[in-house]
């Protein structure tokens, strides 16, 4: 399964819009544009298709954790 397929399945399963995905990436200070996301979600045979790199997927998943759970609190010693 490719990174593109993982992103597509997560977008559908969580009912996320492009704006929400951009917001999620911004939570971890990772900038992605709406047009970049559009290229990632295209079919492979489309001329503007772009492979989703590991960095985009990793940052999206890290941001998704913050988006769903909130910021991790520091433990008091």
Domain enclosing residue 29, as ranges: 3-68
Kindly give the parts of the chain with pLDDT less than 50. none
What pLDDT shows up at residue 1?
92
**Cα–Cα nearest to 62, from 28, 21, 12:** 28
- Output the six-digit token pair for 34: 């709406």
pTM, two decimals, is 0.85
- Output the six-digit token pair for 46: 């489309």
Does any domain span residue 10?
Answer: yes
Does any domain span residue 73?
Answer: no
Does any domain span residue 40?
Answer: yes
Does any domain span residue 49?
Answer: yes
Does any domain span residue 76?
Answer: no
Does any domain span residue 77?
Answer: no
Distance CA 36, CA 41 (A): 9
């Amino acid at each position: 399964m490719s990174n593109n397929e993982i992103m597509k399945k997560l977008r559908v399963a969580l009912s996320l819009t492009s704006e929400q995905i951009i917001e999620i990436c911004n939570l971890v200070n990772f900038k992605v544009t709406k047009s970049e996301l559009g290229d990632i979600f295209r079919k492979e045979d489309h001329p503007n298709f772009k492979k989703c790199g590991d960095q985009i997927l990793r940052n999206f998943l890290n941001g998704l954790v913050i988006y769903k759970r909130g910021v991790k609190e520091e433990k008091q010693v």
